[in-house]
Amino acid sequence: MASVHRVAELRDRVRGWKRAGLRVGFVPTMGNLHAGHLQLLTCARQQADRVVASVFVNPLQFGPNEDFDRYPRTLSEDAAKLESVGCDLLFAPSVTEMYPHGREHLSGVRVPALSELLEGEFRPGFFDGVATVVSILFNQVQPDMAVFGEKDWQQLQVVRRMVADLHLPIEIVGHPTAREADGLALSSRNQYLSAQERKLAPLLHRELQRIVDALAQARRDYAALQARAEEQLRASGFEPQYVAIRAPDLQLPTVDAREWVVLAAAFLGRTRLIDNRYLRL
């Protein structure tokens, strides 16, 4: 596996593959890779001739009181993991390489229809940072397809809408959430949990699964189901920000819906966890 840090080097490599008629897959990450990230690479490997992964801790995705400075940077370990699953090229740019004219007046991309609700309500500007950096990476890599994890369901919908609105010739593939044996969704932030918090963390997934089971049994009292889950989480030591039953496109579901996604975000101590469960009847 080769590693490059400059856009010109990246484009030179990809240009050669394109000339040879090869299909290029892409997996953007912020590094500190775990098994869930590697599943995304494996998925891309199965659907493309060459695979590029990026490792870039994007400052635009962190608010003033969030954990940008303490977010783990583990580039050498990440490179070894990427190579182990057949990644062809690692792109690891600096902030200066990504934003050569600075961030203050950076041209941005915004997906207003999906960016203000749920995560956007509690993390203002977050999805503007996501849409902007992903659009930049798409222009740099120019992949034929890109893989995103379904754990970040709202992010996946934002990216899909952006690609559709901007008519980008990129296939967006969602990959199911990778989980621990007890149901906890894999996340780089799980390492922040104390031993006691780690024991409690799977309760988030269990509450979402309870809602999914209720929907499957024809319960349609959405507000009551959401409120009960928040109450249960609070009683278990979480500080829930939202539990929401939505249509897959994140609109409010109708009572005769046959497809839902149940999403939640909650603090456990200082660690913010997110998760979701999808159901289609």
Band of the pLDDT at 71, cuts 50, 70, 90? Answer: confident
Pick the CATH number of 2-175 from 3.30.70.270, 3.40.50.620, 3.10.129.10, 3.10.20.600: 3.40.50.620
pLDDT tens by residue, 212-264: 999 999 999 999 999 999 999 999 999 999 999 999 999 999 999 999 999 99
The arithmetic mean of pLDDT across residues 51-62, rounded, is 93
The structure's pTM equals 0.95
* 188, 51, 276, 207: CA torsion to nearest 10: -60
Confidence of residue 64 (pLDDT cuts 50, 70, 90): confident
Residue boundaries of the structural domains of the chain:
2-175, 188-275
108-159 per-position pLDDT tens digit: 999 998 999 999 999 999 999 999 999 999 999 999 999 999 999 999 999 9
Q: pLDDT value at position 233?
A: 98
Q: Report the pLDDT averaged over residues 192-209.
A: 98
* 66 has a pLDDT exceeding 80: no
For residue 243, give the nearest of 277, 214, 269, 271 by alpha carbon: 277
pLDDT at residue 169 above 90? yes
pLDDT band at 72 (very low <50, low <70, confident <90, very high): confident
Q: Does pLDDT of 63 surpass 90?
A: no
pLDDT of residue 113: 86
Per-residue model confidence (pLDDT) at position 52:
98
- Assigned token pair, 42: 């494996």
In this predicted structure, what is the pLDDT of residue 177? 97
Average per-residue pLDDT for the chain: 96
Residue from 5, 34, 37, 175 carrying the catalytic annotation: 37
Residue 274 DSSP SS3: strand
- Binned at pLDDT 50, 70 and 90, residue 70 comes out as confident
Domain 2-175 matches domain 188-275 at the CATH topology level: no
Tokens standing for 211? 């809602």
**What are the phi and psi torsion angles at 89 (to 5°)?**
-150, 130
Name the packing angle between helices 153-165 and 126-141 (round to 10°). Answer: 60
For 138, list phi and psi in degrees, rounded to 5. -60, -40
What is 188-275's CATH number? 3.30.1300.10
Let me know if 37 is a catalytic residue.
yes
Q: What pLDDT does 246 receive?
A: 98
